[in-house]
Structure 1
Amino acid sequence: MLTLRDVLRRATERLRQSGSPTPRLDAEVLLCHVLGIDRAELYRRLPEQPPGTLERFWELVARRERGEPVAYLTGHREFYGLDFLVTPETLIPRPETEFLVTWAAERLRARHDEPRCVDVGTGCGAIIVSLAVTLGKQHPAVLVGSDRSLAALQVARVNRERLAPGRVHLVCGDLLSWCRGPLDLVVANLPYLRPDQWHPGLAWEPAEALFAPDEGFGWYARLLPQVATLLRSGGGCIVEIDPAQAERALSTARSLFPHGKIAIRRDLAGLSRYLTIELPDPT
């Protein structure tokens, strides 16, 4: 008698042979998605027979074998403990980006006015919506997510309404060219890969959300001067970068913010991942 445990074992083996780095997890997530249950319920039901032939599940397994990301197969991705909807029009949020939310939340909590914060290149809205949920409904911060992609903003709008209704403004625009300022905080995870960094694992995500000109630093070379004109005294900025860009990011920021506290912070893997800028308070 075929059980769900058998189904999971067979799917895991197929995904292992196809080269998935996480075959068991992939199989579990896809089976939970098709059955409409969580993993705890799946484990409880492993000895049971599957409901029908699970054609939809095997279709998703086949797509995963071809390399399609699990997040696009299910339409969901967990980020900062929240369930975000994602589509092929948006970058899949990565765990290392969660630090931007933590850093920004700490700075905004220390403010007692109505600080203005913009998440540039918001994509599916993961950073700015997570920030809104973390700060809570009563925090006075004005939170804005901007993107030049209308398709991405449509996904961000859905995530905003699901997770933080009424807390986040969304703007379609190129970087900060639309913004008059002043701003208290800017966060950004813009495209920063070079074309030669492409690998098959990136094939399904939108190229415009991954790659940038000028050795991958092109978007930040445009953004940081805009931040310099809009950020008020006492403000801050954090951007996610490729580790190879650390020295250029430092020199660019130091030239634009000569009185600011400039630092490169490392991610959990020990890589130089974040550029932070903190301006002194007015004297």
Structure 2
Amino acid sequence: MAKRINLNADIAEGWGAYNIGNDAELMTIIKSANVACGFHAGDPNSMHRLCMLAKEQGVSIGVHPGFNDLWGFGRRRIQMKPVDLEYMVAYQIGALQGMARYSGLKVTHLKPHGALNNMAAEDEEYALAIGRAIKTVDPSIIYVALAGSKMQWAAEKLGLPLAREGFVDRMYYDDGNLASRALSGTVLKDAEEAARRTVRMVVDGEIVSMNGKVVKVEVDTLCVHGDEPTAVGVARTARAALEKAGVEIVPLTEMELPGQ
């Protein structure tokens, strides 16, 4: 049987009259969409539009919750009580579930955005707060977690379905965490380089850190950031390279995942 992988993108990250990224084109390449739910980006209209487009393209949809930070696009670290974070995430799950009803789709997964994702990868309390929100609202929702992070640990501890995530367009530290965007070169814009790294991650089970260290990793899903101008080219090139390597690209719901 051919190896399978899911390709996802952070998407619907405009707001009001402003669009960010090429959602329509990305949706023809990916198989799962992480939909912004109004806190770091997104609004009811963009969520509705994305859900309807996902139905047309056969793409599964998931919650992409972030901090309440439109000004900073959810990329500023915010310290808050874990219980407040839990309710904030539950609120955003409910928002997408409501809009998904218009398309007849089910919300299948949750992948935190930006600073929330980075903090929860390192902080047990944040990781657990996100997991508790999932477990309370809908325990069938797949917790998409950076491979090897505290989020993966939290999903396993809470008995939630888990998808271990890698990144097509990002560099890593030696410990397997994502390297900060504040550092030059940590966002990959060269489609061919990103594709080579992606195939190595999926086929060989390893990433090379920004310092050259080889880190072993197991991934079920791969993310492309939809707000980058290079997103469509990077996603298309990575998908083509994976398929050439014999890897089948499928929706997250068709993956055999830990915890299911």
Shorter-chain TM-score bucket reads: 0.3 to 0.5
TM-score (norm 2): 0.34
TM-score (norm 1): 0.32
Larger relative contact order, structure 1 or 2 (CA cutoff 8 Å, min sep 6): 2
